[in-house]
């Protein structure tokens, strides 16, 4: 056991202390409140149940994003990724989307994925903005490296934030073209893209933390949980 | 003069289409032929096929679309033409189908409108649509349709007191209607307070072209819609009772918007509607349901005035009073309109006419206007420089 522990200790990355992301809420066009809060490793198995159904959906590259998110979260949960974090979005306590990423260095953020489960409200875009907010305003980093795996992502991040192409620097996600959110770009787009209020009223946060699993996936017509 | 009716409609859902432009057009066409009780292949009975599309050649790199559709659907040797008249292509194609029948050249015409524009990013789509503006006087300066609509809205607001909240009310109404239309692209009802007053309103409902917000503009949609027209003297060939095309009017205005005498008037809408009313022998008071081209919410308000539903400058007051809702004095955009149903350019005019057919047949389910007898559709091309108005009436047995 002692030998294994030592081995395990050698396998685990050295972690940097990261300031937590303070939860916030954003009123949606539907009038509902999207609550964004940070997860812990202990929450991962539950979140995976919300993501797993999407790992076989080819449309809009949910399969690629879903599978990678699962592996990144398991990697984080089992101490095989350094300085990763995950923010989840809930509406009325139901998981509607998530974002994750990690700190590459204290100055550079590595954005991993944005996955919107509920579609139509542009929740994904708001979760992406929350992720950038975490890197820039709370972790106080200089820049975030971003890639897109789907045309939807490309339109929302590369085009709308006017991300700087920096193809000579390889992002961790398979060496696809890297784009960068610099502080200058963040300051330019933040006001229009990043909404929300703090603190989240206690009751609202308590409901958010229930994290019920989605019963409907627009991406999977006729989906029934457990089948 | 020979009379013309609509005996078949096909309207697959608008939104995002995964297949090719041709596959999408075929789906709509087959649905319309089915509805009319027609088959493809030998003895199909279709004399002419018209396809309306604004961007097939520019966006999808395909020309000769109508000829290709005829062959794909095995409708040879029907005559075939593709019609391009900007966002009014759909109603133009129906008008040309009508003329083909009235002239005696054809008995049965299939009109299919379609656009596959989700292959473009939002900005590319805006740029492509802007190619219908004047190349030197407008497009070259970066003008786009949303920017025109924004400037137009400012003038209307200053002149008549229309507010952003009035526009949002139009949006909410149309989204509510779309919830009863399974073919609508957006199935979500925005909350009026959330998109106007809430602290987060500008994040979730950002300005697109101030003072117009996201929820004032139509989404970018793929979609196709088809109708089968026939001469009423051959109506016995078909399964369904025809809905009559009672009037069609079309009018043009200056290409350069700045050259218009009164920039807040939509002259071509007024003129097209007057012509359609004259042909139908009806007036605005006879219309029970209308589909007005609300690519931007402001257009629904101003078009409603130009077609004579309300005095100029008072359309927004009617919205406040709920007169344009289902159950109100003159329900507008029961389908969800371009705002919520979506606006696949070449399909839009055909889709508007299909909504009227459904209303007049009594097949509009949860969005049915009680006992609708006459409907008006306005399909708006350019920034109002080419407008087609169509009036349909219920044919009694
Ligand atoms: C990319 C992604 C995160 C974007 O999510 P999002 O911002 O929540 O996007 P939404 O689907 O809510 O927003 C788009 C919707 O806004 C709505 N919309 C667009 N224009 C509108 C308008 N004028 N009025 C009202 N609503 C409108 C539409 O419903 C549109 O949906 P559609 O694209 O299906 O037509 C999401 O598509 C996703 O998770 N994809 C799979 C994973 C992925 O690609 N991740 C990114 C990798 S880089």
| DSSP track, A213-225 | PPS--TTSTT--T
Distance A145 CA to ligand 1 centre (A): 21
Window 201-240 of B, Cβ < 8 Å to A: 201-206, 215
In a domain, A169, yes or no: yes
Question: A13 in a domain, yes or no?
Answer: no
Least CB-CB distance to B194: which of A28, A192, A194? A28
Chain B CB contacts of A192 below 8 Å:
202-203, 206
Mean pLDDT rounded to a whole number for chain A: 95
| Cβ contacts of B22 within 8 Å, gap of 6 or more | B62, B65, B68, B69, B72
* pLDDT above 60: residue A227: no
What confidence tens digit (pLDDT) does each residue in B148-172 have?
Answer: 999 999 999 999 999 999 999 999 9
pTM for the full predicted model: 0.93
Average of per-residue pLDDT across A59-85: 97
Closest chain A residue by Cα to residue B208: A192
**Is residue A1 predicted with pLDDT exceeding 60?**
no
The pLDDT of residue A174: 86
Q: Confidence band (pLDDT; 50, 70, 90) for A138? A: very high
Q: Which residue of B has its CA nearest to A118?
A: B188
Report yes or no on A6 lying in a domain: no
CATH for B4-120+220-237, options being 3.40.640.10, 3.40.47.10, 3.30.230.10, 3.40.1260.10 = 3.40.47.10
Question: According to the model, what pLDDT value does residue A3 have?
Answer: 67
CA angle A197, A203, A209 (to 5 degrees): 85
Using alpha carbons, select from B2, B244, B249, B237 the residue that is nearest to residue B101: B2
A121 neighbourhood in chain B, CB within 8 Å:
188, 204
Closest CA to B346 of B8, B33, B14, B4: B14
Q: Is A92 in the pocket of ligand 1 (CB under 6 A)?
A: no
CATH of the domain at A96: 3.40.630.30
Asked if residue A10 is part of any domain, the answer here is no
User: Residue A105 pLDDT more than 90?
Assistant: yes
Tell me: pLDDT of A2 over 70: no
CA-CA distance, A2 to A5, in Å (whole number)?
5
Cα–Cα distance between B79 and B70 in angstroms, integer? 8
Domains of chain A: total: 1
pLDDT tens, per residue, chain B with 397 residues: 999 999 999 999 999 999 999 999 999 999 999 999 999 998 999 999 999 999 999 999 999 999 999 999 999 999 999 999 999 999 999 999 999 999 999 999 999 999 999 999 888 999 999 999 999 999 999 999 999 999 999 999 999 999 999 999 999 999 999 999 999 999 999 999 999 999 999 999 999 999 999 999 999 999 999 999 999 999 999 988 999 999 999 999 999 999 999 999 999 999 999 999 999 999 999 999 999 999 999 999 999 999 999 999 999 999 999 999 999 999 999 999 999 999 999 999 999 999 999 999 999 999 999 999 999 999 999 999 999 999 999 987 6
The predicted structure's pLDDT at residue B272: 98
* Residues of the domain holding A69: 18-208
Q: Which of A24, A28, A219 to mutate to test the interface with B (most CBs of B within 10 A)?
A: A28
DSSP class of residue A58 equals: -
Query: Is A84 part of any domain?
Result: yes
Asked whether residue A9 is domain-assigned, the answer is no
User: How much is the ipTM here?
Assistant: 0.88
Q: How far apart are CA A121 and CA B149, in angstroms?
A: 24
User: Is A153 touching ligand 1 by the criterion CB < 6 Å?
Assistant: yes
Interface of A with B (CB under 8 A): 26-31, 59, 120-122, 126, 151, 154-155, 159, 192-197
CA distances from A7 to A26, A41, A71, B76 (A): 44, 21, 22, 75
Instruction: Give the pLDDT score at A226.
Output: 75
Residue A30 counted as domain residue: yes
Residue A8 included in any domain: no
The alpha carbon of residue B354 is apart from the nearest alpha carbon of chain A, in Å, by: 25
Candidates A51, A114, A127, A158: which one to mutate for ligand 1, based on the most atoms within 8 Å of Cβ?
A: A114
Q: What are B313-367's pLDDT values in tens digits?
A: 999 999 999 999 999 999 999 999 999 999 999 999 999 999 999 999 999 999 9
């Amino acid at each position: 056991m002692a030998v294994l522990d030592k081995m395990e200790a050698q396998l685990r990355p050295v972690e940097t202390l990261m300031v937590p992301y303070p939860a916030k809420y954003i009123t949606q066009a539907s009038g509902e409140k999207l609550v964004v809060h940070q997860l812990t490793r202990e929450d991962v198995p539950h979140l995976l149940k919300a993501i797993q159904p999407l790992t076989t959906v080819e449309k809009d590259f949910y399969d690629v994003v879903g599978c990678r998110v699962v592996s990144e979260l398991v990697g984080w949960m089992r101490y095989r990724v350094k300085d990763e974090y995950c923010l989840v979005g809930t509406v009325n306590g139901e998981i509607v989307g998530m974002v994750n990423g990690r700190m590459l260095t204290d100055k550079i953020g590595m954005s991993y994925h944005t996955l919107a489960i509920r579609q139509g409200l542009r929740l994904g875009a708001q979760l992406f903005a929350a992720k950038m907010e975490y890197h820039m305003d709370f972790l106080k980093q200089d820049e975030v490296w971003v890639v897109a795996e789907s045309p939807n992502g490309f339109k929302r991040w590369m085009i709308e934030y006017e991300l700087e192409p920096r193809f000579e620097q390889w992002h961790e996600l398979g060496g696809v073209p890297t784009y960068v959110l610099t502080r200058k770009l963040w300051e330019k787009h933040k006001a229009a893209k990043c909404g929300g209020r703090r603190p989240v009223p206690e009751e609202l946060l308590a409901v958010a933390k229930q994290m019920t699993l989605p019963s409907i996936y627009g991406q999977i017509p006729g989906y029934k949980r457990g089948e | 003069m020979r009379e013309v009716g609509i005996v078949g409609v096909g309207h697959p859902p608008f939104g995002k289409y995964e297949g090719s432009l041709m596959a999408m057009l075929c789906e709509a066409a087959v649905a319309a032929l089915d509805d009319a009780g027609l088959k493809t292949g030998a003895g199909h009975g279709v004399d002419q096929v018209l396809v309306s599309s604004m961007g097939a050649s520019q966006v999808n790199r395909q020309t000769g679309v109508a000829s290709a559709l005829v062959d794909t659907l095995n409708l040879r040797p029907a005559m075939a033409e593709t019609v391009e008249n900007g966002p009014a292509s759909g109603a133009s194609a129906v008008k040309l189908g009508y003329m083909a029948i009235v002239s005696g050249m054809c008995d049965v015409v299939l009109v299919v409108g379609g656009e596959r524009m989700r292959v473009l990013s939002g900005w590319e789509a805006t740029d492509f649509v802007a190619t219908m503006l004047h190349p030197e006087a407008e497009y070259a300066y970066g003008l786009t349709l949303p920017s025109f609509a924004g400037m137009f809205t400012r003038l209307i607001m200053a002149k008549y007191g229309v507010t952003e909240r009035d526009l949002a009310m139009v949006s909410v109404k149309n989204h509510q209607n779309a919830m009863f239309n399974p073919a609508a692209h957006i199935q979500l009802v925005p909350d009026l307070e959330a998109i106007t007053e809430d602290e987060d309103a500008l994040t979730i409902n950002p300005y697109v072209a101030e003072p117009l917000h996201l929820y004032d503009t139509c989404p970018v949609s793929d979609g196709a819609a088809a109708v089968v027209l026939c001469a009423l003297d051959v109506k016995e060939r078909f399964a369904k009772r025809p809905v009559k095309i009672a009037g069609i009017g079309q009018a043009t205005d200056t290409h350069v918007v700045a050259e218009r005498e009164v920039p807040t008037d939509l002259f071509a809408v007024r003129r097209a509607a007057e012509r359609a009313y004259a042909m139908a022998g009806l007036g605005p008071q006879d219309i029970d349901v209308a589909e007005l081209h609300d690519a931007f919410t402001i257009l629904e308000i101003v078009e409603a005035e130009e077609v004579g539903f309300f005095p100029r400058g008072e359309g927004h007051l009617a919205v406040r009073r709920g007169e344009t809702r289902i159950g109100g004095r003159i329900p507008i955009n029961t389908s969800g309109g371009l705002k919520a149903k979506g606006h696949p350019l070449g399909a839009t005019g055909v889709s508007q006419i299909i909504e009227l057919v459904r209303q007049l047949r009594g097949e509009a389910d949860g969005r049915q206007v009680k006992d609708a007898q006459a409907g008006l559709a306005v399909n708006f091309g350019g920034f109002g420089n080419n407008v087609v108005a169509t009036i349909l009436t219920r044919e009694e047995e």
